[in-house]
Structure 1
Amino acid sequence: MTAPARPGRRAWLALVLGSLSAFGALTIDMYLPAMPGMAHELRTSALLVQLTLTVFVVGLAVGQVIVGPLSDTWGRRRPLLAGMALYVTGSLWCALAPSVGWLLAGRILQALGAAAGTVLARAIVRDLYQGTAMTRFFSTLMVVNGMAPIIAPVLGGQLLTFTTWRAVFLVLGAIGAILLVAVAFTLPESLPDERRTPAHPRAILRSFRTLGTDRYYLRHVLAAALMFAAVFAYISGSSFVLQDAYGLSAQQFSLVFGLNGIGIVVFGQIGGVLVGRVADEHALLRVSLSVAVLGSAGVLACALLHLPLALLLVCLFLLVSMLGIVLANATSLALAGHGSAAGAASSLQGLLQFLVGSLAASAMTVSGQVTATAMGVTMVVCSVAALATLRLHHDR
């Protein structure tokens, strides 16, 4: 498979790969408005329901580490098709879960399946593109990635007006089935035989050792992971903060979540237009992370000083909307030097991204409940650390 030249084919490829890469966000965002109701119906605590989010993120990270290196050996299609089938199975399991324990098991299956789409979408882009063209295509993927937080919570919130949270997982299973068919019939193999690595544990370990000692790669992967953690603090905590503390309904929360998703889309596309024309990837990364720091500081100030909800929402928008620019540029810079091991490089990025995100989510619940202050502190620590990471010494 070569990079498509026709605009229509390129748009279709962006739609399919963007949907695959958005699987993690889609599976998280769509059921956020249902979390308080799930706790009530399953007769469990809010913390245990939130654990279904943490378990999913950890499973997503672990799954990427397994799938990524295997795809460098077997190609992208077979692991991707297997992952999509597993995702559909996990979604149906969740929809039928009689208790929170069964729900947790279903979320693990979902996560392992979604990991294939998340890691292999990035690897396929690296197979097909290089340099600024790769950065721009990653920015294009942000359109679909940004649509996930726009559509998912709104759809989830609307479903809750006439049915239960179980329908959310049925819809997720249907989406997974549609993408499974799309991959099977329209997405050819992107990794030729001559570029595949030997199917040997030593070769896989050698790839990870090379990545683990590449300071340039680690610098950009860690910056992306820490930025994602700052946004994940919002993803995992905002449903409780905005609905319980500020009194928003499930539908109002869904609209707020969707507006922030629009920010990801708009600023992601602005970044794609600017890169290579007005600024390079490094400059865009520094500027977007600086804006994220300002937004997170504003969230903490609103929590501590009890400032109006409108100001809090503006600060959240500033933070979240920078995610598209940061991920597109940081991912392109990180993967640029690892074309022969794009699956392993993408998987390690995913592992760090989601593990750091899950740690951020767990840190907010140390006190036993999610508060606006805890969310703000987590955002500030993660965004400042992301910006500081870019100041580390690098070789290129």
Structure 2
Amino acid sequence: MPPVSRIFRAATPSTAALVIVTGVGPIATDSYVAALPALQESLRTSAATAQLTLTAFIVGIAAGQIAFGPVSDGLGRRRLLLGGAAVFTLASLLCALAPTGPVLVAMRLLQGLAAGAGIAVGRAVVGDAYPPAEAAQRYGTLASITFLGPVLAPAAGGAVLAVGDWRTLFGVLTAFGVLMVLATLTGLPETLPPEQRRGGGLRANGARMLDLGRDRNFMQHVLLQCVVVAGFFTYIGGSSFVLQEVYGISESTYALVFAVNAAAMACASTAFRFLVARVGPAALRLTGMSASTAAALGLLGCAVAERLTPGPPPLPLVWVLLTVLVAGMGLTIPAATALAQQAGDRSRGTAAALAGGLAFFAGAAVTPLTGVIGYDTLLPMAGLMSGFFVLSAVLLARMRRPDPVPAVAPGATRGTMKVAGAKDVPG
């Protein structure tokens, strides 16, 4: 009889199932944002409570990654994926039936926690099942979906709202939750053998998080990813205000701009999948960051010129620069995810939790900044984005090579050890 680990390794997860499990949550982030006024009136609640339903989900999806990724290193992947899918389904149904605003906020938080579990544990499954080069390709696919989801969700939600109301949309998410359960049952076998599990108690989970948190080889990738995501979410949170206020474009025109930029990011993510095995994630991260940083600085130059010349810079120029910036993220985010997972390979669920959860928290924190500091000109948004991307370039330049001594998480039992972050940083 073959070893248990070989049996587990032979069971390859379905890529389609992984896409479903990790992608439904991000799409649920702000798919109903256009219905917030109607939601507020329907539930007879305040605007602040209606907005809090969105914030609660974002906090939940970040906290869910941080909470359940480490648990999966101790208990295995499949049970958590199945439980997360089931809870997401139930929470979505309760959202559709919510009688008051506070109840909807609570259910959105629960829904986000369950979705976050799917994201973190799904990434860990990839590391379990595939060698590094092939895993990087799949990390690219999953990371792109995670961060493209909030970008595309308003359009998808708008299509549903055209034939129903906000409760209809949560009904659709309930159906997607059922699909998550079926995808887990049929396409996601257990990928972490029992002999590689390291205890599921709070002390063991905390030890794994502390181990990676003290590992500079790993945390340098996480910090860089957080700064890059902050720059990207500045665009998500501010571009609609800036383009509609400064240029006076309509909502439909802005939707076109947003869709074109999202398509550029999707194309870049596809290119990442085909190129990563040949050139490596570090080179693609450098390429993506260089493009985004150059575009952000170009926008800053346009904003400064706006102060010196009458009228704003030409919209086609600003649009092209925004498209380049977003396309660069299609290379940077998947590459950063792959490099962080490689550096934290000894505790894959914990690595996915820290890298994904902290990046989502960073994005959520900066999303309202443009609205706070102003959007009557291009300068505030361009300045924020330039600051984040220049900081990311400085962090990348200061990134050190990995330590030559392999690090092993507390209680590790794996027979083969990897140098954390090996071959992550270009020479």
Task: Pick the structure with greater CA Rg.
Answer: 2
What stretches of structure 1 of length at least 5 have no aligned partner?
A: none
After superposing the two structures, state which structure 1 stretch, 344-353 or 359-368, moved more.
Answer: 359-368
The question of whether the paired residues in 2 share the 8 Å contact of 1:77 and 1:189 is answered with yes
Q: Which amino acid aligns with 2:389?
A: S
Matches within 5 A, 1:139-178: 139-141=140-142, 144=145, 148=149, 152-178=153-179
Alignment-derived partner of residue 209 in structure 1: 210
Per-residue CA distance 1:339-386 (angstroms, 9 max, x = gap): 331111111112211121122124334358898554433322322222
* Structure-1 residue corresponding to 2:267: 266
Contact 1:23 1:117 in 2 (8 A): no
Given residue 296 of structure 1, which amino acid in structure 2 is its aligned partner? Answer: A
Paired letter, 1:88: T
TM-score (norm 1): 0.86
Aligned to 1:351: 357
Selected match of 1:318 from 307, 315, 324: 324
Q: Secondary structure at the match of 1:112?
A: helix
TM-score (norm 2): 0.80
Q: Which residue of 2 aligns with 1:65?
A: 66
The answer on 1:391 being equivalent to 2:392 is: no
In the other structure, the counterpart of 1:20 is 21
Read off the aligned partner of 1:284 and give its amino acid letter: L
Distance 1:200 1:64 in 2: 17
Matched AA of 1:102:
V
Distance of 2:164 and 2:340 partners within structure 1: 43
Shift in alpha-carbon separation, 1:208–1:151, aligned structure 2, 3 A: closer
Structure 2 counterparts to residues 158-237 of structure 1, below 5 A: 158-237=159-238
Structure 1 residue 43: Cα displacement: 6.8
Count, aligned residues: 389
In structure 2, the CA distance between the partners of 1:171 and 1:301, relative to structure 1 (3 Å rule), is: farther
Q: Which residue of 2 aligns with 1:382?
A: 388
Q: Spell out the pairing of 1:234-245 with structure 2 (5 A cutoff).
A: 234-242=235-243
**Aligned pair in 2 of structure 1 residues 356, 371: CA closer, same or farther (>3 Å)?**
farther
Deviation of 1:395 after TM superposition, in Å, equals 3.4
Q: Secondary structure at the match of 1:336?
A: helix
2: CA distance, partners of 1:307 / 1:40: 39
Query: What are the superposed Cα offsets for residues 131-161 of structure 1, whole Å, 9 maximum, x if unpaired?
Result: 2222122234466557746753322222333
Q: Displacement, 1:243?
A: 5.4
Judged with a 3 Å threshold, the aligned counterparts in structure 2 of structure 1 residues 79 and 273 are, in CA distance, closer, same or farther, namely same
Partners of 2:376 and 2:30 in 1: how far apart? Answer: 17
Deviations 1:57-99 (CA, angstroms, capped at 9, x unpaired):
2221211121111111111111111111221222233334455
- Deviation string, structure 1 residues 191-247 (Cα, Å, up to 9, x no partner): 111111123333222211221121121111122222222222233344544556655
Match of 2:105 in 1: 104
Equivalent AA in structure 2 for residue 341 of structure 1: S
Tell me the equivalent position of 2:282. 282
How far, CA to CA, are the matches of 1:347 and 1:96 in structure 2? 31
C-alpha separation in 1, matches of 2:222 and 2:269:
18
8 A contact 1:146–1:324 mirrored in 2: no
- RMSD (Å), alpha carbons: 3.1
- 229-238 vs 368-377, which moves further: 368-377
Residue equivalent to 1:295:
295
Identity %: 37
Q: Distance in 2 between matches of 1:302 and 1:371?
A: 11
> What is the distance in 1 between the residues matched to 2:277 and 2:353?
27
Alignment-derived partner of residue 367 in structure 2? 361
Give the Cα–Cα distance (whole angstroms) in 2 for the partners of residues 254 and 329 of structure 1. 27
Q: Is the 8 A contact 1:33 1:254 kept in 2?
A: no
Matched letter for residue 221 of structure 1: V
